Amino acid sequence: MKVIGVGNLKGGVGKTTTSTSLAYLLGRYGKKVLVVDADAQGNASQTMGAYDPDEKGLAGIILGEKSAEEVIKRTKYENVDIVTANMWLMKANAKMLNSEENQIDRIENMLKTECIHSKYDYVICDCGLLLDITVINVIKAADMLIIPVKAGGYGIKAVENMIDQTKGLHEGQQVKVLMTMKTGNKTNKETAVWLKDMYKDKMFKTEIRRSVVAEKAETAEKPIPAMPQGSNTARDYNSVIKEIMSEEEWNEAQEYIKEKRRNKKTGRFQKID
């Protein structure tokens, strides 16, 4: 099981879009995926169609009041389950600040339980803006930390800040920077070159292009690849999946899709949604 945290201490850089797109695509490739919504705004929960303002969800884990089995919910998307979040999570963070108990291993311990560790291939954790107890829990648990960054402005500085602030929480963690919302203007191109020079092998080769479909997906509360019309953004996230997977795993994923497309009666291939 691979645990991936998606975070940046800067808003509007595509954290939730990245988390939900990767989760959706991994599920379509036959991988069992658990989304952990670690943001009190609950945007990932909304995008996956599972938001409930009254359920404690991840807050129940942070507070030690719920078991993993109690908080996992099915989503309407293939092979994707979720641990939801809402404003209960903000209250849980505030309460934990005054607690003398162990605070930063709660998500890691949740992921070690049999009902998760033996069932899922990937865990995708969508982080909030603040480096609060919940996000620290995610960083501690994650094998890979993806830092989305929008070209230009303060977002670039936020990448280095995120890396600095999370050092030492998980030794050996793989950190990858992902450029999002890229356009063809000069500033974007210069930013892309600078990021590659700065972070080298920590940069994803894939850059996520800006798309009108992405904005429509946000309004529709759906992962971008789940939208009926295709988009460059969805194709880009598919390329990110290829970078995350091993070559063997990627080949297996292609065979899975190929088999799904095969008409059982005729043996011919057909389009799948």
Per residue in 206-252, pLDDT (tens digit) is 999 988 998 899 999 999 999 987 789 999 999 999 999 999 999 99
Query: What percent of the chain stands above pLDDT 90?
Result: 68
Amino acid at 210: R
Confidence of residue 272 (pLDDT cuts 50, 70, 90): very low
Q: How far, in Å, CA of 203 to CA of 195, rounded?
A: 7
Measuring CA to CA, which residue among 18, 62, 11 is closest to residue 241?
Answer: 18
**36 vs 85: CA distance, rounded Å:** 8
CB 42 within 8 A of CB 27: no
Average pLDDT, integer, range 103-118:
93
pLDDT at residue 271, as a whole number: 46
pLDDT band at residue 266 under the 50/70/90 scheme: very low
Residue 154: per-residue pLDDT = 67
Please, which residues have CB within 8 angstroms of residue 150's CB and are 6 or more apart in sequence? 12, 13, 14, 179, 180, 181
Give residue 269's pLDDT band: very low, low, confident or very high (50, 70, 90): very low
Average pLDDT over residues 121-139: 95
pLDDT at 264 over 60: no
- Average pLDDT over the chain reads 90
The predicted model gives 65-93 an average pLDDT of: 96
Name which residue leads in pLDDT, 24 or 151: 24
- Model pTM? 0.92
Q: Which amino acid does the sequence have at 240?
A: V
* Residue 177: pLDDT band with limits 50, 70, 90: very high
pLDDT band (50, 70, 90) for residue 75:
very high
Cβ partners under 8 Å of residue 220, min gap 6:
227
- Give DSSP secondary structure letters for the chain: -EEEEE--SSSSSSHHHHHHHHHHHHHHTT--EEEEEE-TT-HHHHHTT---TT--THHHHHTT-S-HHHHEEE-SSTTEEEE---THHHHHHHHHHT--S--SSHHHHHHHSHHHHTT-SEEEEEE-SS--HHHHHHHHH-SEEEEEEESSTTHHHHHHHHHHHHTTSSTT-EEEEEEESB-SSHHHHHHHHHHHHHHGGGB-S--PBP-HHHHHHHHHTS-GGGSSS--HHHHHHHHHHHHHS-HHHHHHHHHHHHHHHB-TTT--B----
Res 64 pLDDT > 80: yes
**Which range among 68-72, 142-146, 189-193, 241-245 shows the weakest confidence by mean pLDDT?**
189-193
Give the pLDDT confidence score for residue 166 in this predicted structure: 85
